Amino acid sequence: MEAMKRRKREFTPLLVHTGQHYDADMSDTFFRDLDLPEPDIHLGVGSAPREEQIAAVAERFEPIIAREQPDWVIVVGDVNSTLAGARAAKKLATKVAHVEAGLRSYDASMPEEANRVETDRIADLLFTPSADADDNLRAEGIAPERIRFVGNVMIDSLYRHLERSRQSPIRDQLGLIEKSYAVLTLHRPANVDDPVVFGRILAALVTITEKLPVVFPVHPRTQKTIATLGLSERIEKMKGLRLIEPLGYLDFLSLYSNARLLLTDSGGIQEETTQLGIPCLTLRENTERPITVTMGTNKIVGTDTARIIAAASAALAETRREPVSIPLWDGHTAERILAAL
């Protein structure tokens, strides 16, 4: 959206918010922090099981495509809205561009994997963030002329907002000293819906919090499962684990960019910590972003208690790493996407 502003003669964007992420803390805050314009259209879909949500977004989006007759529909990432937008456009014979294409975890149990694979089949142009994504697409028989290696648009956002994030008061409010704390994020159903898995992660945190405090901005979904699984008392006993409300983009960027260590089951954080040279432990058995492991600061540690503790101890014993330079993660991905379009 920002890059299109600079090329008004060539691009007239229409921003559609599907409403998949409807919580004010998880949606409105990010529009404000990222200087995103107000959506031109809000579909207001809200929460629903995966296939119902995809169908609802596609059903509400189709009339907009029919009315506006766009040259391109651009879909981003791997959420349900990504696939729904691609399906709706393809049904109406409108060209589709997929930003962040070609990423693969090869874990069929992840709904995001199904979204990624089908969206890449549908899309006319596939904008990849790293060379391994190109390899994945070629291996799946995608024609090379549909693939464009453009770099990582999330790093554009990171560079654009890093300086602004330093004005955030969040660390002062929490009484945190730079590089003396860790940050935890958890939201994937495989981790937070299963009491055994969640319990193993919490057991690791008992040991880790003896070495440094761990700040845990709690995703709304995770808040519900903590209560449902009866884990509140166990968590409260860990004095070094600090649960806080979800943070906006700038506050969260300020928090984790000054952390000693990240523990996460997210995808994007693996990329951003690599770019900033911060050790990251991914609490999953796989990643769709392997370049963050082969070139970056990321380690895949799963959910085994001993493995998490060992990896955390090793990361804390390391001297600070320098940020890694991954090809085309330079803050100019948006311009390359527009050039290709």
Q: Where are the beta strands (DSSP E) in the chain?
A: 16-17, 41-42, 72-76, 95-99, 125-128, 147-149, 182-185, 214-217, 241-244, 261-264, 280-282, 298-300
Average pLDDT over every residue of 96-121: 96
Residues 140 and 22 in one domain: yes
Total of domains in the chain: 2
Contact 297, 257 (CB under 8 A): no
Q: In this structure, is residue 115 part of a structural domain?
A: yes
Q: In this structure, is residue 242 part of a structural domain?
A: yes
Structure confidence by residue, pLDDT tens digits, 99-111: 999 999 999 999 9
Structure confidence by residue, pLDDT tens digits, 191-237: 999 999 999 999 999 999 999 999 999 988 899 899 999 999 999 99
Residues 177 and 242 in one domain: yes
pLDDT at 25 (0 to 100): 59
Q: Provide the residue count of the chain.
A: 341
Residues 210 and 299 in one domain: yes
Residues 189 and 269 in one domain: yes
Residues 42 and 121 in one domain: yes
Residues 116 and 255 in one domain: no
Residues 139 and 174 in one domain: no
Q: In this structure, is residue 60 part of a structural domain?
A: yes
pLDDT at 30 (0 to 100): 83
pLDDT at 22 (0 to 100): 64
Please report, for the domain that includes residue 132, its CATH number: 3.40.50.2000
pLDDT at 325 (0 to 100): 83
| DSSP SS3 for 187 | coil
Residues 73 and 194 in one domain: no
Q: In this structure, is residue 324 part of a structural domain?
A: no
If pLDDT is split at 50, 70 and 90, which confidence band does 70 have? very high
Average pLDDT over every residue of 171-180: 97
pLDDT at 319 (0 to 100): 79
pLDDT at 321 (0 to 100): 67
Domain extent at residue 29? 2-152+329-340
Residue 14 predicted with pLDDT over 80: yes
Residues 109 and 199 in one domain: no
Catalytic residues: 187
User: pTM of the full predicted structure?
Assistant: 0.92
